[in-house]
């Protein structure tokens, strides 16, 4: 699809099933490279980032068998090369996990510097490099290619991360799984997908403890062998649909979730006057009263996730009073604000903060997604607005949300995707 067209104003009613977590899947697929034998991975989301990673593995010689639409058998036993096409690697951020998995298995990695979402600021990987260097690798970055080489295998050490980094925690955990000796990652990130990756590696024979706390201890093993694993539900996909109900109104059961992972989001929604009821593996979200202002600061887990910041900001545009947002993870994640302003939002950005004056309604407009979560936020804006919104740049959304159009249509949204040809026809019709 190239564009989404949304006629806003329909409240949402029904059920939405949540897919497997993107950010767990993009770590677990590279992890499969380190395993001898077949990894059966269930609950993989059907999104373009997953497809790209699978193509990279295939190119390296992995055997991939589709068991059903969400389950794959990945066998990397015969992978003999550490190379894949750099262009493909550049398409996604998570290609940097190949540094940890290739170094761990082959003692060498040549990986193109990560691409993926660009929400304005720099996205450094100095903490990954610092960790691998401490483990005995020689790491250089030249012409956008990271080359990491170690004499024999990585050596276990204690690494203190200067910033709480999800990517560095995951990458170093991957490298440490097959390293010689014991690695301790201090000041580690605690996101649910870090625990998921540790569980995956442990179920393949690794020895990792402490994932989910800020100190992860890994005892390197000689080899890991195949097994079964089912990926956790996507916390951010669930949170996005929870915000969509808050913005558009209605009552939706968000199914197949782990409510504990959604706590920081549920708490904020309740402060905004939205009802959230937690059941065993679902949450009910209902909004039938005016939205109330609140104040949000994004933080590493278990704080409010930065990946939900554009979505909650969008909903707060419709809340009575003045709300504030402080971005506590990234230097700059407010590129989408200009698009919301085109729809009538009143937002002022000042460095890492945004001040939102609630308005009674947003108006549909032609707008453009600049990254994955910004794109999701614009969909919420379109669903909540009066009139028609046309969103360009939806390839970002499709990197991380499985079947967003059908999930939203099923609960009553008026949203459709336009292919390139349909888009040209639509433009001719609109003059």
Interface with ligand EPZ (CB under 6 A): 23, 26, 93-94, 117, 123-128, 163, 165-168, 189, 306-307, 329-330, 372-373, 400
Q: Which is nearer to ligand EPZ, 28 or 291 (CB)?
A: 28
Strand order in the sheet with 295-297: 295-297, 322-326, 353-357, 346-350
32: nearest Cα among 4, 1, 73: 73
Phi, psi for 292 (deg, rounded to 5): -110, 150
Q: Which is nearer to ligand EPZ, 26 or 157 (CB)?
A: 26
For residue 292, the minimal CB distance to ligand EPZ (Å) is: 27
370: nearest Cα among 395, 345, 390: 395
399: nearest Cα among 24, 116, 39, 87: 116
Q: Which of 39, 76, 117, 317 is catalytic?
A: 117
For residue 230, the minimal CB distance to ligand EPZ (Å) is: 19
Per DSSP (E only), the strands in 259-397 are 275-278, 282-287, 295-297, 322-326, 346-350, 353-357, 366-368, 388-392
Q: Which is nearer to ligand EPZ, 364 or 400 (CB)?
A: 400
For residue 29, the minimal CB distance to ligand EPZ (Å) is: 11
Distance (Å) of CA 184 to CA 87, 97, 152, 209: 34, 18, 20, 10
Using left for φ > 0, alpha for ψ between -120 and 50, and beta otherwise, residue 246 falls in alpha
Q: Cα 425 to chain center, whole Å? A: 33
What are the helix (H) ranges across 33-62? 48-59
Q: Which is nearer to ligand EPZ, 5 or 243 (CB)?
A: 243
**Nearby residues of 357 by Cβ (< 8 Å), 6 or more positions away:** 321, 322, 346, 347
Whether 76 is catalytic is no
For residue 69, the minimal CB distance to ligand EPZ (Å) is: 22
For residue 413, the minimal CB distance to ligand EPZ (Å) is: 22
Q: Which is nearer to ligand EPZ, 287 or 373 (CB)?
A: 373
Q: Which is nearer to ligand EPZ, 94 or 385 (CB)?
A: 94
Which position's Cβ is nearest ligand EPZ? Answer: 167
Q: Which is nearer to ligand EPZ, 92 or 418 (CB)?
A: 92
**How many CB atoms within 10 Å of residue 404?**
26
Q: Return the biggest CA–CA distance within the chain.
A: 67
Q: Are 154 and 175 in contact (CB under 8 A)?
A: yes
Q: Are 185 and 16 in contact (CB under 8 A)?
A: no
For residue 395, the minimal CB distance to ligand EPZ (Å) is: 14
Q: Which is nearer to ligand EPZ, 38 or 89 (CB)?
A: 89
For residue 369, the minimal CB distance to ligand EPZ (Å) is: 12
22: nearest Cα among 232, 303, 200: 232
327: nearest Cα among 342, 347, 357: 347
For residue 92, the minimal CB distance to ligand EPZ (Å) is: 8
417 vs 431: CA distance, rounded Å: 19
Distance (Å) of CA 133 to CA 137, 205, 214, 318: 5, 25, 21, 49
Residues annotated as part of the active site: 117
């Amino acid at each position: 699809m190239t564009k989404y067209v949304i006629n806003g104003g329909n409240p949402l009613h029904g059920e939405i099933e949540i897919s497997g977590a993107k950010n767990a899947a993009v770590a677990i697929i590279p992890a499969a490279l380190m395993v001898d034998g077949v990894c059966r991975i269930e609950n993989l989301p059907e999104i373009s980032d997953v497809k790209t990673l699978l193509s990279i593995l295939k190119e390296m010689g992995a055997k991939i068998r589709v068991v059903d639409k969400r389950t794959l058998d990945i066998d990397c036993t015969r992978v003999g090369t550490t190379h894949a096409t750099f262009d493909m690697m550049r398409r996604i951020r998570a290609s940097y996990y190949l540094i940890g998995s290739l170094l761990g298995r082959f003692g060498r990695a040549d990986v193109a510097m990560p691409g993926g979402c660009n929400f304005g600021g720099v996205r450094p990987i100095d903490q990954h490099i610092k960790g691998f260097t401490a483990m005995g690798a020689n790491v250089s970055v030249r012409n956008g290619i990271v080359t990491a080489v170690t004499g024999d295998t990585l050596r276990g050490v204690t690494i203190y991360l200067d910033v709480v980094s999800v990517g560095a925690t995951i990458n170093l955990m991957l490298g440490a799984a097959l390293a010689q000796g014991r690695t301790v990652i201090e000041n580690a990130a605690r996101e649910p997908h870090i625990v998921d990756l540790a569980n995956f590696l442990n179920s393949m024979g690794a020895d990792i403890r402490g994932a989910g706390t800020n100190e992860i201890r890994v005892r390197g093993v000689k080899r890991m062998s195949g097994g079964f694993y089912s990926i956790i539900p996507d916390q951010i996909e669930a949170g996005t649909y929870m915000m969509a109900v808050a913005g558009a109104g209605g009552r939706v059961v968000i199914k197949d979730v782990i409510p504990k992972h959604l706590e920081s989001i549920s708490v904020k929604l309740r402060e905004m006057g939205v009802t959230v009821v937690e059941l065993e593996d679902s949450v009910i979200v209902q909004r039938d009263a005016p939205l109330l202002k609140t104040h949000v600061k994004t933080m590493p887990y278990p704080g409010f996730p930065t990946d939900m910041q554009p979505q909650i900001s969008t909903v707060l545009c419709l809340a009575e009073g003045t709300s504030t947002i402080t971005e506590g993870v990234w230097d700059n994640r407010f590129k989408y604000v200009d698009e919301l302003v085109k729809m009538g939002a009143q937002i002022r950005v000042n460095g890492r903060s945004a001040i939102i004056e609630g308005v009674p309604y947003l108006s549909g407009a032609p707008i453009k997604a600049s990254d994955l979560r910004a794109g999701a936020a614009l969909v919420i804006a379109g669903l909540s607005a009066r009139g028609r919104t046309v969103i360009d740049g939806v390839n970002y959304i499709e990197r991380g949300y499985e079947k967003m159009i059908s999930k939203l249509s099923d609960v009553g949204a008026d949203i459709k995707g336009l292919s390139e040809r349909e888009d040209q026809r639509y433009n001719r019709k609109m003059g």
